[in-house]
Structure 1
């Protein structure tokens, strides 16, 4: 039954779509219950106080739960034929509002379409809802590993490709549009419900654009030979002792899978772990076992101490979950209503750290390495959006690249995506509100 709030704003035949979806998916494959619609209408954007102040930004009219790539396709076909907006959704772990249904309509929850289709030599094919950790496990059984996975390893493949950018493994392989994707199966909003197969450069056009040009239903990603990894934990009296090691660890051969460093503030906010002692700057890394001795020598030469070296995939997962955005989450848990963050990159993160920290009150950098350069999350004490945005110019003056994580616009190749969407989504039904003129995306990017 159509809910009262849906009737107020609904310019499309919702009842007809719901009936058709129930025919396609069964009663359990569709929900119009308020609780289900509310759960499907939020993501991890509460990490941003700028976005949080604007929540809720939208509410689904109906949620569909297809269980396969083929079912995703027919659902998209039905909704687009009837002119109903479609917001694709994976695990909802994105931090920037990409999965919020601004205009209501259908939220397409793809987490039940999670089959690993095949594992071959150097590649793996899986449906959009498969979690990244399940793909890593499947690859490991074939003596291989995926090139990268996000810090939230329970994220879905489709969500990571459409909304993510990098993570564990990016120190070597860069972002997920740089050789990670070999082929995609896509559904366009043209009413046909047909699956379109794209490979190579054509596939890259659908990566990191939030599903605004087509919805990923299945993907083939690159694999490499499995390595014997160790979780490496070190600590230092000061953050300044740690910083040069971000470059030095980036010269180890083989490269680490991840390097990650923080001020003592993070160690004080984390659950107790003797490998991450309170009051000390912390370095965590996922190292090839052959480089542990060299890494130990680097740490000791810098005045630090190695706290522990641990084996097993759970250790790697633990270190991953303390990388990228996750330190900010831990700080927010320990100190509610205090911190915001900005994504940053470049040599000044090491060479001009005091000036970088001074950009925002209470500034503190979480630092990593990706593709040969320092990257990180610069946290500060939140006061207002104006204070956040004013810092962008100061970062640029220091030579720091930044990305604004407090907006939901597509800002990676937006012109290319808009051009593609003219034919793949002629009526603007795919994730409405996310593909806008680039001038509206405040502080989008500086390289």
Structure 2
């Protein structure tokens, strides 16, 4: 659907009165910047770009201003696409129907840090939350591999990351409470806690926009960056399970073929020509990890200390290795999210699912998980691999799509009351064929 110029002009005028001249933009450069995310990571989606262009962009600076902007847009009948840093990779923050992009990166205050909990506005980055917690001797339970993403974006579009070995996904005890905004003319902050708060997690803002979040904290641990290498990928695979079972649990464990070392910036701890095992370990487990590596025929390359070390390791975990491969070998790779014991026990067959198959492996709550990369030929060939993965006992998730696929029925039921006019992030709360992830408009 498209919005009439008259409605857009009226909304822009109201937003200028609310936010000031610099709080709203209709300039093409600003609209284009606010209408893209990292979806070029997916060659399937890349072939369909551009998918939408904002008509105007608003930059609220607080949770209260977020609710005021949403209410104004609803009164003028203008679609609203919420946006954080735009670090999502699959189009969930692209304004398919134009309208208003709600850029929340300026609403970034850390409101409070108390014993076991932290409250911040939606635009606060995960790095800033980790730093604020550390000043009080605490740490956040997890953060995504793109640590500069916002808490609102992580809760709306992310799932897990560094810390998921122990804590799982961000809907499993991470969120204590939320202040959300519904798409109604008199929009205001709605406070939800516990199970009710979880219904707003990972639905891309289609049933309510997260304006402020209270998340759980735990005592700060002495983390170490641990680097090891092996002659071959097979050598490190058994250690994925062994490292995941260390106590206290690691914050991250990642393993890759030697191909990744050739794509990364030069680092003596990730030597060329060797498979790489990297981990963020509690200092008390480093000696045991060293024993495990040496017993498996590997060698420890380095043990590093400091928060920047952990952040750097996070940036080469989860789907980030695919980004590095794509930078080194443009127009070559795609990936599929995978999980299951077959990633270790049947690795040669897993690699054979796609031409040039390469597994980036992690662990989460005792399960091997990862990103299976392959050389891209066509979307049809990507989808054809799903049945082959299933036959191997590998669970998969298709990342080459932008619709809500976590509790979609629950989200639709919620949105029926929180977004009666269907203005929140249109095009994302749909049910396309799961086998293809076909474009839906």
- Per the normalisation by structure 1, the TM-score is 0.97
Q: CA deviation at 1:440?
A: 5.7
Q: CA deviation at 1:442?
A: 3.5
Q: CA deviation at 1:81?
A: 1.6
The one of 392, 400, 417 aligned to 1:423: 417
Q: Are residues 323 and 8 of structure 1, via their aligned partners in 2, closer, same or farther at CA, if it must alter by over 3 Å?
A: closer
Q: Quick check: 1:267 aligned with 2:251?
A: no
Identify the range of structure 1 (189-198 vs 230-239) with the bigger mean alpha-carbon deviation.
189-198
Q: How big is the alpha-carbon RMSD for the aligned residues of Structure 1 and Structure 2?
A: 1.3
* Contact residue 414 and residue 438 of structure 1 kept, 8 A: no
* Contact residue 341 and residue 379 of structure 1 kept, 8 A: yes
**Does the residue aligned with 1:13 lie in a helix, a strand or coil?**
helix
User: How far apart in 2 are the matches of 1:330 and 1:384?
Assistant: 21
The one of 142, 150, 157 aligned to 1:156: 150
CA-to-aligned-CA distance 1:78-125 (integer Å, 9 cap, x gap): 001211000000000000100000000000000000000000110000
CA-to-aligned-CA distance 1:194-240 (integer Å, 9 cap, x gap): 11000000000000000000000000000000000000000000000
User: How far apart in 2 are the matches of 1:137 and 1:400?
Assistant: 37
The residue number in structure 1 matching 2:293 is 299
The residue number in structure 2 matching 1:198 is 192
The one of 291, 312, 316 aligned to 1:318: 312
Aligned length: 438
The residue number in structure 1 matching 2:426 is 432
Tell me which stretches of 4 or more aligned residues in structure 1 moved more than 6 Å: none
Q: CA deviation at 1:438?
A: 5.6
**Does the residue aligned with 1:395 lie in a helix, a strand or coil?**
helix
The one of 31, 36, 46 aligned to 2:30: 36
Q: CA deviation at 1:439?
A: 4.1
CA-to-aligned-CA distance 1:380-411 (integer Å, 9 cap, x gap): 00000000000001001111010001000100
Gaps of 5+ in 2: none
The residue number in structure 2 matching 1:4 is none
User: How far apart in 2 are the matches of 1:361 and 1:245?
Assistant: 26
User: How far apart in 1 are the matches of 2:2 and 2:98?
Assistant: 11
CA-to-aligned-CA distance 1:306-344 (integer Å, 9 cap, x gap): 000000001001100000010000000000000000000
The one of 166, 177, 183 aligned to 1:183: 177
The residue number in structure 2 matching 1:54 is 48
**Does the residue aligned with 1:379 lie in a helix, a strand or coil?**
strand
Q: CA deviation at 1:190?
A: 1.1
User: How far apart in 2 are the matches of 1:367 and 1:438?
Assistant: 29
Q: Quick check: 1:15 aligned with 2:21?
A: no
User: How far apart in 1 are the matches of 2:280 and 2:186?
Assistant: 45
**Does the residue aligned with 2:192 lie in a helix, a strand or coil?**
strand
**Does the residue aligned with 2:280 lie in a helix, a strand or coil?**
strand
Q: Are residues 441 and 28 of structure 1, via their aligned partners in 2, closer, same or farther at CA, if it must alter by over 3 Å?
A: farther
- Per the normalisation by structure 2, the TM-score is 0.98
* Contact residue 363 and residue 369 of structure 2 kept, 8 A: yes
